[in-house]
Amino acid sequence: MRFEILVLGNSSATPIYDRHPTAQILNFNEQLFLIDCGEGTQMQLHRYGIKSNKISRIFISHLHGDHYLGLVGLLSSMNLTGRMSELHLHGPAPLLEILNLQFKHSDTTLRYNLIFHPTNPDEEEVIMKSQMLTVRSFPLLHRVPTTGFRFDEGARAASLISEKIEGMNIPTVFFQQLKKGMDCTDLDGTVYRATELTKPAPPSRSYAYCSDTRAFATYIDAIYGVDLLYHETTFEHSLLDRAVETLHSTSLEAAQVALQAGVKRLLMGHYSARYKDLTPLLEEAKAVFDESVLSFEGNWYKV
Amino acid sequence: MRFEILVLGNSSATPIYDRHPTAQILNFNEQLFLIDCGEGTQMQLHRYGIKSNKISRIFISHLHGDHYLGLVGLLSSMNLTGRMSELHLHGPAPLLEILNLQFKHSDTTLRYNLIFHPTNPDEEEVIMKSQMLTVRSFPLLHRVPTTGFRFDEGARAASLISEKIEGMNIPTVFFQQLKKGMDCTDLDGTVYRATELTKPAPPSRSYAYCSDTRAFATYIDAIYGVDLLYHETTFEHSLLDRAVETLHSTSLEAAQVALQAGVKRLLMGHYSARYKDLTPLLEEAKAVFDESVLSFEGNWYKV
């Protein structure tokens, strides 16, 4: 089952070197979510072959322009291209006021159902829950109210051991029960044991998204143990003063967070315009946490 | 003296085929003006080597997203990159409310002086006047209050005939007076006649910008006789119903406007996403008005 991130933008506030403001697509089992929506996101979606009308849910971390200025254009284009399906939008409460003001003056009436869910910048909350997936928002530490997001896959099914199944003539109606760990009995009394016929379920996967923030202990619990952590790495550690002043993180700090939070892999991004070559940021992170990778636009990253 | 338009975006509301929402740079004697500012304009400026901090004045025609959604990002980036010089912004009155709301929630305080001038959607007005240039706004006919803009160069100076000047030892202090048509007398009584030593001033040039609008007689006077007219050509005339419904113009109608208004050249744009190949739009316009040209992004057009 697919659980992957497509990076659409990896630039900090001043876009340069054909790097774009922050946006990511999360493909979870062919459901598409958009995380942040910097200016130009609709063009980036087009560039990388993502149909925007397939996005069912949008998550906005905070109201700095490089994280949400593409939203009004994207929502309007969805309208123009005939979107009918409902769209859920999670973000800071004032976002709704901003959207409504712009829709009012552009005389825009959405023909699809946009459902707004304000995020809570003060404490962790479950903001979506199904059997397959749980999404939480949690507070980050930035200049305006900001949340991160964590996506936890639900319990995964065991899989049948095909070599054992073949030729056994097990009624296919039993397959789902076996995968859930339940033994099944045939009409003639044959018993099929789940423990014998299935491989145990693979562990559930999880993704956490942290941008923008000072690297801080407060959200370590919220991101603990994820398979993939996206964490902003705006500056090298030699520019710590600048990171403190602007409430961003250095590459070294992000790597320390990844280490403390026991995550499997760190995905870096939100690079300052001063870095044309990103190698120094990567080397700094890897020195602390070897499983650090640079995010590049247009690349998919498996959770 | 330079008087040229750089097209940064020529797409209508749904950007596609690497065409971008509307924006143009007007270079008038190395003063840079920005006309409309669709989403992604700051990236387009960068792509075509325009330093955004050199823009002194911005004109926004109306509050449909594809004409102004790049503005907050551009103004914020100017702030981040240390702009100090004042910036004049002309646009519909509610634009200020939209900007202020977004600046408030992003905790943005501009460190340069942004001076807002609301446009009048009901009648023609002079919105800037100097000896060199007069700018007017005038009402267009669209779904929300919309204005066009007209840029008229002031009287140009005559130029000296260099072949005659050479070897005459005319004091250089006389050059400006001669160009203004005034005769000059040397200390030894020699008279230098402006009519003999100068070529007459070339005619003043003018540019008009019309997007978006139903093609209509009401603004013919406002754009009369310009050297270059930018007029939207969203649809072919076979889609007249669609143009009427959305208050846009067909290519044929824009050419009729150009003809009636006695302009020298028509620059086309704001192409619907249905046209990958723009030839049909061009052919339709040229059949009515031969001096029609398609605008392409990244190209400069002389006024």
Contact B248/B239 with Cβ under 8 angstroms?
Answer: no
- Chain A residue with the nearest C-alpha to that of B46: A16
**pLDDT at position A303 over 90:** yes
A164: CB partners within 8 A, 6+ apart:
A196, A197
Across the interface, do B143 and A107 touch by the CB < 8 Å criterion? yes
CA distances from B273 to A77, A106, B144 (A): 11, 20, 21
Q: How confident is the model at residue A162 (pLDDT cuts 50, 70, 90)?
A: confident
What CATH class does A3-156+202-295 carry? alpha beta
> A186 labelled as ligand-binding?
no
The closest CB to that of B40, out of A39, A77, A80, belongs to A39
Does the annotation place A66 within a ligand binding site? Answer: yes
Is pLDDT above 90 for B217? no
The tokens for B62 are 């109306």
The response to whether B237 counts as a known ligand-binding position is no
**Beta carbons of A101 and B105 less than 8 Å apart:** no
pLDDT confidence of residue B130: 87
- Which of A13, A73, A108 minimises the CB distance to B76? A13
Bigger pLDDT: B182 or B44?
B44
Residue B237: pLDDT band with limits 50, 70, 90: very high
Average pLDDT over residues A48-57: 95
pLDDT of residue B175: 87
In tens, the pLDDT along A18-46 reads 899 999 999 999 999 999 999 999 999 99
Query: Hey, what are A290's tokens?
Result: 């070897």
Determine what percent of chain A falls in helix, strand and coil, rounding each to the nearest 5. Answer: 30, 30, 40
- The strand order across the sheet containing A31-37 reads A114-118, A87-91, A55-59, A31-37, A23-28, A3-9, A300-302
Are the CB atoms for B288 and B256 separated by under 8 Å? yes
Write out chain B residues lying below 8 Å of A94, CB-based: 101, 105
Q: Considering only alpha carbons, which residue of chain A is nearest residue B63?
A: A106
pLDDT of B179 reads: 86
Coil, helix or strand for A89?
strand
Q: What is the pLDDT of residues B116-168, one digit of tens each?
A: 999 999 999 999 998 889 999 999 999 999 999 999 999 888 888 988 888 78
Q: CA Rg, chain A, in Å?
A: 22
Interface test with A, best of B8, B10, B14, B75 (most A CBs within 10 A): B14
A109 in B contact zone (CB under 8 Å): no
Query: How far is residue B278's CA from residue B196's CA, in Å, rounded to a whole number?
Result: 50
- Mark whether B186 is an active-site residue: no
Mean pLDDT of A227-232: 98
d(CA A112, CA A109): 9
Contact, B89 vs B127, CB < 8 A? no
Mean pLDDT score across all residues of chain B: 94
**Range name among A161-165, B220-224, B256-260 with the lowest pLDDT average:** A161-165
Would you call B118 an interface residue with chain A, using a CB distance cutoff of 8 Å? Answer: no
- Give residue A216's pLDDT: 86
Kindly list the domain boundaries of chain B, sorted by start residue. 3-156+202-302, 159-199
Nearest to A215 by CA among A183, A179, A258: A258
pLDDT the model gives residue A179: 86
Alpha helices per DSSP H over A91-231: 94-105, 162-165, 175-179, 194-197, 220-223
Q: How much is the pLDDT for B167? A: 78
Radius of gyration of chain B (CA): 22
Interface test with A, best of B8, B20, B43, B62 (most A CBs within 10 A): B43
Q: For the ranges A114-118, A252-256, B214-218, which has the lowest average pLDDT?
A: B214-218
A 10 A CB-CB count for A238 gives 11
> Using the beta-carbon criterion (under 8 Å), do A80 and B14 form an inter-chain contact?
yes
B73 touches chain A (CB under 8 A): yes
Percentage with pLDDT > 90 across chain A: 79
Nearest one of B209, B240, B213 to B227, comparing CA atoms: B209
A25 neighbors A175 (Cβ within 8 angstroms):
no
CB pair distance less than 8 Å for A73 and B64: no
pLDDT reported for residue B15? 83
pLDDT score, position B172: 83
Question: Whose structure tokens read 């991004």?
Answer: A269
- Indicate the fold that domain B3-156+202-302 takes in CATH: Metallo-beta-lactamase; Chain A (3.60.15)
- Nearest chain B residue to A70, by CA: B39
* The pLDDT of residue A89 is above 90: yes
The reply to whether B46 touches chain A by the CB within 8 Å rule is yes
Whether pLDDT at B299 is above 90: yes
Structure tokens at A151: 């996506």
Task: Give percent above pLDDT 70 in chain B.
Answer: 100
**Residue to substitute from B50, B53, B69, B245, interface A, most A β-carbons within 10 A:** B69
Cβ <8 Å between B65 and A80: no
Q: Measured between CB atoms, does B14 come within 8 Å of chain A? A: yes
Name the E strands within chain B. 3-9, 23-28, 31-37, 55-59, 87-91, 114-118, 125-129, 133-139, 147-153, 159-160, 184-185, 191-192, 198-199, 206-210, 228-232, 265-269, 292-294, 300-302
Q: Residue A147 pairs with which residues in a beta bridge? A: A139
Q: Are B57 and B90 in contact (CB under 8 A)?
A: yes
C-alpha angle A72-A78-A79 in degrees, rounded to nearest 5: 90
- Tokens at residue B154, please? 């002031």
- Measured between CB atoms, does B299 come within 8 Å of chain A? no
Q: CB of B6 within 8 A of CB of B299?
A: yes
Question: What integer pLDDT is reported at residue A200 of this predicted model?
Answer: 87
A227 is in an annotated binding site: no
Looking up tokens 């999404």, which residue turns up?
A135
Residue the block writes with tokens 């019309």? B210
Q: Cα(A92)–Cα(B131) distance, rounded to whole angstroms?
A: 49
Query: Does B69 contact A at CB distance below 8 Å?
Result: yes
